[in-house]
Amino acid sequence: MKQLLVLHGALGAQQQFEELKNLIGNAFTVHTLNFEGHGGRASNEPFSMDLFVQNVRDYLRENNLSSCAVFGYSMGGYVALKLAAQFPGTITEIVTLGTKFGWSPEIALKETAMLNPEKIEEKVPKFAAALAQLHAPLDWKEVMHKTAKLMRELGDQPALTTADFQAIDIPVTLLLGSEDVMVTVEETMVVQHQLPHARFEQVEGWQHPIERVNKEELAKKLTAIL
């Protein structure tokens, strides 16, 4: 059976994909992991794409996965592409969903303005409570602060270059919800044209938050693509 590794997004954790895992379990042997500092997995390191790439490499080695396909949601897709660029032959195919590629200091400023734990606690207490539960026993506020710092660093210097994308010699499918307000069609298609073997698909009605994505539809999509 085909091996599939699912990578979560920023502020996320592997438990967000339990439903998807159950839905595609007949088609794939599904693996999930928490990046350091997420989902209760402790970390003393600042967040970086290099750290998360190393987390994936460690997981693959520890589980004797010489090759597998990867589905990366949002930041998870960015990590998967960086892994494929830096370590050819590690993964066989990538599907991303809602991955943000267009980074600049202005965009990072806009995105991080929404990552204010105190404001979130005050204005969106249910979201704050959900994050607290998702990352326990870690402090979700620290997760958010470290994520904001990572975004600012991406704004100053994106972790993937045109040369990186051109070096990815495996099939890549870039999925984007039509209602995603964080990621644009334009920034996704720029990357599609830089990748040697990529296709872009916009999915009608899907929004950016993984909680708003219909998991049955996503399961069918992944099964059809991979």
Which CATH number fits the domain that encloses residue 76?
Answer: 3.40.50.1820
What is the model's pLDDT at position 66? Answer: 87
Q: Is residue 74 predicted with pLDDT exceeding 90?
A: yes
**Contact between 134 and 12 (Cβ < 8 Å):** yes
10 Å CB burial of residue 85 (0-12, 13-18, 19+) is buried
Domain-embedded: residue 136:
no
What is the three-class DSSP state of 18?
helix
Domain-embedded: residue 217:
yes
State pTM to two decimals. 0.97
| Count of alpha carbons within 13 angstroms of residue 59, beta-carbon side | 23
Helices then strands, each counted (H, E), the chain: 10, 6
Q: How many domains does the chain have?
A: 1
Domain-embedded: residue 148:
no
- Could you give the percent of the chain with pLDDT greater than 70? 100
Please identify which residue in the block is written with the tokens 């839905």. 23
**Contact between 72 and 80 (Cβ < 8 Å):** yes
pLDDT digits (tens, 9 = 90+) for 127-158: 999 999 999 999 999 999 999 999 999 999 99
Closest CA to 68 of 80, 77, 78: 80
**Contact between 191 and 221 (Cβ < 8 Å):** no
How would you list the strands of the sheet with 198-203, edge to edge? 28-32, 2-7, 68-73, 91-97, 172-177, 198-203
Domain-embedded: residue 144:
no
Q: Is residue 67 predicted with pLDDT exceeding 90?
A: no
Domain-embedded: residue 80:
yes
Find the domain containing 10 and state its range. Answer: 2-101+160-225
Domain-embedded: residue 117:
no
Domain-embedded: residue 145:
no
Work out the mean pLDDT of the chain and round it to a whole number: 97
Domain-embedded: residue 193:
yes
